[in-house]
Amino acid sequence: MKLRSKDLISAADLEKREVKAILEEAEHMLGTVRKGRQLKMLKGKILATLFFEPSTRTRLSFESAMTRLGGSVIGFSGTEGTSVRKGETLQDTVRNVENYADGIAMRHPLEGSARLAAQSVKIPVINGGDGANQHPTQALLDLFTIKQEKDLRNTRVALCGDLKYGRTVHSLMYLLPMFGTEISIVSPEVLGMPEHIMDEVEGRYGTRPEKQASLKEAVKWADVLYVTRIQRERFPDPNEYERVAGSYVVDSRLLSGAKKDMVILHPLPRVDEIKPEVDSTPYAKYFDQTFYGVVVRMALLNMLMGGGRHG
């Protein structure tokens, strides 16, 4: 199946049937990768990875996905030595790249950059993160990971940590309720979920995600605990950070209150919000996400750059 748009810019643009199709395609990709089959659907096609802001993991994941589909990759990471440093506009950069490549995966520090790039070229553009706005492929791989572990319907997902600037939790707010997944949120007051997202989710799905009083309460409630990083520089008052950050750390003592089959996800990189002692518990699924990220991106690349057919 082809997506309605030529691009993937924001989770808010996706309809449920499109998300379902992406998850199904990713499931198929997972099967072929596990069998060790080399695919050829994108043979002869070139993906340009334009990382105006460096990100090792997301870029490698796109490159791995493209290579596994038989395609090849060109691109840059960081703007050092590129025409961007000489003042070239984003619109001119992507119009040039359009002559070298059949698709673009990009990350850019400014919000709305992927949308602007997409309207400047005819080839597909995939948003790999635009400032604090959206990171739809991360949200889709989170969704895929939850689906591998749980039935999406009637599962309770607690989003915790930095819900104000965390772009993947914004995307998840749109995607999870499509499948009847229950969401609740817990965060320091200054890093709360933006009201306009709460309003939009309530308008679309008729329910407003509940706030949990503390991380401890959220752990008791949840089937899936989605942890995000709380960054010191997000706090206007450093004392506030010192006061608050400690109560958002996941360790084995906290997990004693959890359901036995609860799983913990994290968009990585993590710093100290999940203690290393948790890594060896059955709760920890955050490293599996990295693997699922490749198959989800394979699905998206095939749907946007290929015929969307299995080869």
Partner 1 sequence: MVRRIEKGTVLDHLPAGSALSIMNLLKLEDNLVVVAVNVLSSRYGTKDMIKIEGKLLSKAESDKIGLIAPNATINIIRGGRVMSKGRASPPEEIKGILRCPNKKCITNFEQCETKFIRTGDKYKCVFCESHFSVRDFELQPS
Catalytic annotation, residues: 57-58, 86, 107, 135
Q: Which residue, 71, 68, 81, 83, is CA-closest to 36? A: 68
At residue 270, what are phi and psi to the nearest 5 degrees?
Answer: -100, 155
Q: Is 277 in the site for partner 1 (CB under 8 A)?
A: no
Q: Give 15 or 111: the residue with its C-beta nearer to partner 1.
A: 111
At residue 181, what are phi and psi to the nearest 5 degrees?
Answer: -80, 135
Q: Is 93 in the site for partner 1 (CB under 8 A)?
A: no
| DSSP-assigned states of every residue in 243-294 | HHHGGG-B-HHHHTTS-TT-EEE--S---SSB-GGGTTSTTB-HHHHHHHHH
Which pair of structure tokens corresponds to residue 299?
């699905």
* Least distance between partner 1 and beta carbon 131 (Å): 5
Q: Which stretch binds partner 1 (CB under 8 A): 107-115, 135-143, 294-302, 303-311?
A: 107-115
Residue type, 128: G
Determine which residue in the list 16, 31, 43, 111 makes contact with partner 1, applying CB under 8 A. Answer: 111
Q: How far apart are CA 106 and CA 130, in angstroms?
A: 8
Q: How far apart are CA 249 and CA 271, in angstroms?
A: 10
Contact 284, 12 (CB under 8 A): no
Q: Which stretch binds partner 1 (CB under 8 A): 29-37, 125-133, 157-165, 283-291?
A: 125-133
Determine which residue in the list 1, 5, 6, 12 makes contact with partner 1, applying CB under 8 A. Answer: 12
Do strands 72-77 and 46-51 pair parallel, antiparallel, or not at all (unpaired)? parallel
Q: Give 200 or 272: the residue with its C-beta nearer to partner 1.
A: 200
Question: Which residues in the 153-212 window bind partner 1 by CB under 8 A?
Answer: 196, 199-200, 203
Residue type, 161: G
Q: Give 177 or 306: the residue with its C-beta nearer to partner 1.
A: 177
Determine which residue in the list 59, 68, 115, 285 makes contact with partner 1, applying CB under 8 A. Answer: 115
Q: How many residues bind partner 1 (CB under 8 A)?
A: 22
Scan for tokens 């329910």, then name that residue: 207
Q: Give 116 or 249: the residue with its C-beta nearer to partner 1.
A: 116
Q: Is 61 in the site for partner 1 (CB under 8 A)?
A: no
Q: How far apart are CA 163 and CA 160, in angstroms?
A: 7
* Least distance between partner 1 and beta carbon 47 (Å): 22
Q: Which stretch binds partner 1 (CB under 8 A): 40-48, 130-138, 259-267, 292-300?
A: 130-138
Q: Give 59 or 170: the residue with its C-beta nearer to partner 1.
A: 170
Q: Give 69 or 84: the residue with its C-beta nearer to partner 1.
A: 84
Contact 171, 136 (CB under 8 A): yes
Q: Is 10 in the site for partner 1 (CB under 8 A)?
A: yes
Question: Contact positions toward partner 1, by CB under 8 A?
Answer: 10, 12, 89-91, 108-113, 115-116, 130-134, 196, 199-200, 203
